[in-house]
């Protein structure tokens, strides 16, 4: 018979997340939403508890826990502020992609600051007319020497305009999933811009905007893994 009981360690960090959410998120959640505040200080406090890289490896500052462990933590954080917890989950996912498939140099370049939430991360997949269907995305990156030239648009991006790192799925080859490559685009890159902040019914503690690429030159060294 499968034992579904939580281990003592899981109970401990679940309870820690619950206490943190009650103290740091819940009392401010309504104000953050009403005033459209991206709560950077609260996010960095969450990072100090290990919540910025729950399933990122420990050598770069991650907590090296499992996806089940992450679900326990996110559930408790969401009880305090759902939209802030959702942003933390996206930051975790984008950071994990660098950790899982990035080269050692890329991991040490980006992840320590992401684990402290000195830098914030966004994941860029959804496009106008394409939803989150990765196989049909149209944002295109063409190789030009030691750079890719990226053109296209991502939409409804959590952290858009506020993040420091944008982990982007782009097309470098033919149709379908085999033509898709992952590039990290850093804030301040020439040709990177953002649309207006989306008007939402709630969910306002995380900024949401289109991410726009116009002849945006991204170093080949920012590619995560191989093409395709």
Residues 104 and 69 in one domain: yes
Q: Residue 130's pLDDT is what?
A: 72
Q: Residue 2's pLDDT is what?
A: 65
Residues 206 and 128 in one domain: yes
Residues 111 and 142 in one domain: no
Q: What are phi and psi of 162, to 5 degrees?
A: -120, -25
Residues 157 and 105 in one domain: no
Is the residue at 192 inside a domain?
yes
CATH of the domain at 182: 2.40.110.10
Residue 208 pLDDT class (50, 70, 90 cuts): very high
Residues 106 and 17 in one domain: yes
Residues 100 and 165 in one domain: no
Is the residue at 1 inside a domain?
no
End of a domain among 91, 115, 139?
115
The predicted model gives 184-202 an average pLDDT of 95
Is the residue at 3 inside a domain?
no
Is the residue at 20 inside a domain?
yes
Q: Residue 22's pLDDT is what?
A: 98
- How does pLDDT run across 168-185, given as a tens digit for each residue? 999 998 887 778 999 999
Output the pTM of the full model: 0.94
Is the residue at 2 inside a domain?
no
End of a domain among 83, 115, 147?
115
Domain assignment of residue 142, given as a range: 121-224
Count of all residues that appear for the chain in the document: 228
CA 134, 136, 138, 140 dihedral sign is positive
Residues 105 and 165 in one domain: no
Q: What are phi and psi of 186, to 5 degrees?
A: -90, 145
The predicted model gives 50-64 an average pLDDT of 97
Q: Residue 132's pLDDT is what?
A: 64
Count of domains observed in the chain: 2
- How does pLDDT run across 78-136, given as a tens digit for each residue? 999 999 999 999 999 999 999 999 999 999 999 999 999 999 999 999 998 776 677 78
160 and 194 in contact (C-beta within 8 Å)? yes
- How does pLDDT run across 140-162, given as a tens digit for each residue? 999 999 999 999 999 999 999 99
């Amino acid at each position: 018979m499968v034992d579904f009981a939580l281990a003592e360690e899981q109970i401990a960090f679940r309870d820690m997340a619950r206490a943190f959410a009650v103290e740091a998120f819940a009392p401010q959640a309504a104000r953050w939403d009403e005033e459209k505040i991206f709560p950077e200080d609260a996010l960095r406090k969450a990072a100090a508890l290990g919540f910025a890289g729950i399933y990122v490896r420990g050598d770069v500052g991650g907590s090296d826990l499992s996806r089940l462990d992450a679900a326990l933590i996110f559930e408790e954080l969401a009880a305090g502020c759902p939209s802030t917890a959702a942003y933390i989950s996206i930051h975790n996912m984008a950071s994990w992609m660098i950790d899982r498939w990035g080269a050692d140099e890329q991991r040490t370049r980006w992840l320590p600051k992401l684990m402290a939430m000195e830098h914030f991360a966004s994941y860029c997949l959804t496009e106008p007319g394409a939803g989150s269907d990765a196989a049909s995305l149209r944002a295109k990156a063409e190789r030009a020497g030691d750079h890719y030239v990226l053109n296209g648009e991502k939409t409804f991006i959590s952290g858009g305009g506020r993040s420091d790192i944008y982990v982007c799925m782009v097309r470098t080859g033919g149709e379908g999933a085999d033509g898709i490559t992952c590039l990290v685009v850093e804030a301040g890159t020439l040709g990177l811009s953002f649309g207006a902040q989306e008007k939402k019914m709630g969910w306002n503690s995380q900024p949401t905007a289109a991410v726009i690429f116009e002849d945006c030159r991204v170093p080949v060294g920012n590619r995560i893994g191989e093409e395709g």
